[in-house]
Structure 1
Amino acid sequence: MTLLLLAVGVNAASLDDLAYTTTNGEVTITDCYVSARGELVIPATIDGKPVTSIGGDAFVDSRLTSITIPNSVTSIGDFAFYDCASLTSITIPNSVTSIGVGALESCTSLTTIEVGAENVNYTDVNGVLFNKEKTDLLNYPAGKGGNYAIPDSVTSIEEGAFGGCTSMTSITIPDGVTSIGGAAFYECTSLTSITIPDGVTSIGNDTFWSCTSLTSITIPDGVTSIGNGAFDGCRSLTSITIPDNVTSIGLFSFHDCTSLTNITIPESVTSIGERAFANCTSLTSIAIPDSVTSIGERAFGGCTSMTSITIPDGVTSIAEYAFSGCISLTSLTIPNGVTSIGYGTFQFCTSLTSITIPNSVTSIGELAFRECRFLKTVVMEGLPPTVDRTAFETVNENAKVFVNPGYLFRYGNVGETWNGLVISDPDEKSLYDRIEELTELIIQKDAQIAGLEQRPTQSEYDAVVTELDACPSLEDIQEARVGSVVLTPTGNGTVILRMMIEESSDLSVWENNGESVEVELPLTEGKKFLRFALK
């Protein structure tokens, strides 16, 4: 049975209504209308029946500023008060024995959580919600902000515990923590760095999602898995080292890390998940270890600065759009083990000029090389695979395919087209390779010449000499003093060098002791400068 409870019946200020259900004589609050504003006092009974539960999502997106929970309530459901952006405080009564996942997440105005002193399962410390033993940190109010040191008693940080804490700038995690729940620090947009203690073995899904100011993070060697979306949207993160024990990189793990320039993937990793590095627009190259056997859909899609990538021989499948939009990628060799090239795998790789497809490939999917407008050379090492008619759509209009001579008859005759590519004489490939080598050599020589051209010209050198010649001679100087050394020209072809003797007890304050050393030195005709050294 579902009933509508009018605001008048619940003694609520600026509230129109609540929705609730009654089961076995007990009431569960299931919804709060979005029009509700101000303070709400939930009654202990409705129609003579006790209110014992606040259901999951019951107050999601509510704009209430204060909610009083009666001492009859024993359970608060998952995400019950999620994103209550106007809620500033809340008190958990003594009667509550169960609080669901994310119950108080993303309440961006919430600065304190209070718990009844006699509650047997929960407690608060300075407005932060813990279990009674203070070993589990359940929720840090999203509006609290600032710096925070987690108490040493804590061993577990629960899912979403710091979610939406946009003004938190730093956090210290004690060494005793061994578990960090999913989305624990999501949208902590002011957090710049964090160190994960050695006892943690896994980083859950969305743990640091959209921590847009995070520039560095230390992942301990004991971590074996990085969850889906773990660092998704960490746009200030510049580099990261994945520990040697990690075996898989999850979906969206480093998606949209637009400042990431360097990442090391260890030999322990066997799979790279869907969009794992998609939109990492500053990543220029990446070495995929030999242990990897599969590359997920759009794994490197949109990595616009990536110029090279090495795919190991152990890879047997490259999923759809895996390298789509890698507009700086110029060449690539597909390992001899891959059997299929998926839908749109290299679509919009507009700088790709050549590619070698091994004899293991049996199919090339739709739009696989679409819009690779500079692709001029395709080398087929095996029998013709099954190719979708759009696979080479809008590549360079003069693109050629070079075929293993033993299989040429299966592709057609030289000069004919195969899937839009001109079948070329295999001997021409050798000549083409030689031209490519010579072109590269010319580029190197041009660079050397450019370096030589940066050297000063004869006229520039002469100008410097003229400038030096214009400097004053010793005869032009009446007296020059540097420190306690005095030079005095005599006017008769000599100069007097006089050195004053000074003393100090601390190498800081010096005093003249009244003594000096004086030497008269001849000036050789045509010479303008003297220099001396103490030995």
Structure 2
Amino acid sequence: MKKFLLTAILFAAAVSGSCSKDDGDNGNSPALPSLPNPNDVCSCMTNAAFMKYCYENFDLNGDGAISKTEAAAVVSIGFSLSAVGDNPAPLTGIEYFSNIQSISIALDWIGGGYAQIKSKIDIDLRYNQKLQYIKLNLPPSDGGEISVYLPETYEGNKLSDIGLTYCSRIYGKHASSDHRCWIVDGKLTDAASHGLTTYTIPDNVTSIEDWAFSYCKSLESVTIPKNVASIGNEAFSHGNRLTLYCKPTTPPKLISDFSYTYIAKIYVPHSAVDAYKNAYGWSEYANRIEGYDF
């Protein structure tokens, strides 16, 4: 039996205020969660499933604790999150795994389907400044919301499909003012698109990267700003009937067609109708392209 397991959970829950974060979006990290046991980073954890996973995978010397040195050696975390309940910060303690490059978290399969987030939770990754890949397969329901706090060093997903789709808010240096997008040097790499039906992409976006809005099945219409020059692979994949309002007068380069998405209509500037109908990729939807007064 792992020492301090139950004690740590109860203690951490009692002092959850010490693990809280500021509400700003400047990307600054709050204080690290306090450790009831200074020799065990798991002693501040508030989720039993996360704690169990860490003990089973990262206790290299078998002493029943995860030292800061052992935590610093971890470069990838991937597990199923269970028993979230009304825990507002189920991944408390992940801050001590400062060299993580990849995070993949899903909910458990329960009773013929995946569990769902039914409360408002925060996932704070601001101390994980080596992050390159994030996959949060945590679908909310019944008012559930996920806010994710990203390090300013994060440059956006390169491989992920789901990514941050199921999140409702993104906070950090490169978050858009509405906290829905992560934009680095004009590249929209990640979108927290849960619950969106209509969305206008921020004007400072110049490219929409691969998988940015993937798996957002609630989206019905998207407005693309005038400076967008390219749209990545399956940027709007797995949508339903999607209407695009495209402001660029020059058709953005399509890395691929709109795979797995039914495009209902594409509205473009009147002067650019012919250009879109004849452009690579866009020509496949020529009969759905119409002029529009923006």
What TM-score range do you get, normalising by the shorter chain? 0.5 to 0.7
| C-alpha contact (below 8 Å) 2:165/2:215 kept by paired residues | yes
Distance change >3 Å, CA 95–CA 149, structure 1 → 2: closer
| C-alpha contact (below 8 Å) 2:201/2:222 kept by paired residues | yes
Report the counterpart of residue 76 of structure 1 in structure 2.
131
Asked if 1:183 is matched to 2:234, the reply is: yes
Distance change >3 Å, CA 217–CA 132, structure 1 → 2: closer
Report the counterpart of residue 33 of structure 1 in structure 2.
80
Q: Deviations over 1:207-241 (max 9, x none)?
A: 522323x3233672673457xxx98xxxxx79468
| C-alpha contact (below 8 Å) 2:72/2:99 kept by paired residues | no
Going by fraction, where is helix more abundant, 1 or 2?
2
Asked if 1:215 is matched to 2:264, the reply is: yes
| C-alpha contact (below 8 Å) 2:164/2:191 kept by paired residues | no
Report the counterpart of residue 18 of structure 2 in structure 1.
none
State the one-letter code of the partner of 1:124: S
| C-alpha contact (below 8 Å) 1:129/1:137 kept by paired residues | yes
Report the counterpart of residue 53 of structure 2 in structure 1.
18
Distance change >3 Å, CA 96–CA 68, structure 1 → 2: farther
How far residue 30 of structure 1 moved from its aligned partner, in angstroms, is: 1.4
The number of aligned residues is: 215
Q: Deviations over 1:424-453 (max 9, x none)?
A: xxxxxxxxxxxxxxxxxxxxxxxxxxxxxx
Q: Deviations over 1:171-224 (max 9, x none)?
A: 11122110111111112214234447343453223x522323x32336726734
CA distance in 1, matches of 2:167, 2:71: 34
> SS of 1:41's equivalent?
coil
Structure 1 unaligned spans of 5+: 1-5, 232-236, 242-535
1:114 to 152, 162, 171: 171
> SS of 1:220's equivalent?
helix
Q: Deviations over 1:288-333 (max 9, x none)?
A: xxxxxxxxxxxxxxxxxxxxxxxxxxxxxxxxxxxxxxxxxxxxxx
Distance change >3 Å, CA 151–CA 31, structure 1 → 2: closer
CA distance in 2, matches of 1:201, 1:170: 17
How far residue 131 of structure 1 moved from its aligned partner, in angstroms, is: 2.6
TM-score (norm 1): 0.34
Asked if 1:100 is matched to 2:120, the reply is: no
State the one-letter code of the partner of 1:156: S
> SS of 1:15's equivalent?
helix
State the one-letter code of the partner of 2:279: V
> SS of 2:75's equivalent?
strand
| C-alpha contact (below 8 Å) 2:125/2:148 kept by paired residues | no
1:125 to 177, 182, 196: 177
| C-alpha contact (below 8 Å) 1:140/1:162 kept by paired residues | yes
| C-alpha contact (below 8 Å) 1:79/1:104 kept by paired residues | no
CA distance in 2, matches of 1:114, 1:138: 14
Asked if 1:59 is matched to 2:105, the reply is: yes
Report the counterpart of residue 498 of structure 1 in structure 2.
none
Larger RCO (CA within 8 A; separation ≥ 6):
2
Please identify the structure whose Cα radius of gyration is greater.
Answer: 1
CA distance in 2, matches of 1:59, 1:24: 18
Report the counterpart of residue 31 of structure 2 in structure 1.
none
1:139 to 171, 181, 190: 190
CA distance in 2, matches of 1:32, 1:24: 16
1:89 to 139, 143, 146: 146
Q: Deviations over 1:65-100 (max 9, x none)?
A: 43432542103343432x321372223244543432
| C-alpha contact (below 8 Å) 2:135/2:164 kept by paired residues | no
Going by fraction, where is strand more abundant, 1 or 2?
1
Distance change >3 Å, CA 238–CA 203, structure 1 → 2: closer
How far residue 51 of structure 1 moved from its aligned partner, in angstroms, is: 1.2
Report the counterpart of residue 172 of structure 1 in structure 2.
223
State the one-letter code of the partner of 1:92: Y
State the one-letter code of the partner of 1:11: M
CA distance in 1, matches of 2:192, 2:71: 35
Distance change >3 Å, CA 68–CA 143, structure 1 → 2: closer
Distance change >3 Å, CA 95–CA 161, structure 1 → 2: closer
| C-alpha contact (below 8 Å) 2:149/2:170 kept by paired residues | yes
After TM superposition, the runs of 4+ consecutive aligned structure 1 residues lying more than 6 A away are none
Structure 2 unaligned spans of 5+: 10-41, 59-68, 109-114, 268-274, 290-294
> SS of 2:199's equivalent?
strand
Distance change >3 Å, CA 11–CA 225, structure 1 → 2: same
Asked if 1:42 is matched to 2:105, the reply is: no
> SS of 1:18's equivalent?
helix
| C-alpha contact (below 8 Å) 2:208/2:231 kept by paired residues | yes
How far residue 103 of structure 1 moved from its aligned partner, in angstroms, is: 5.4
RMSD: 3.8
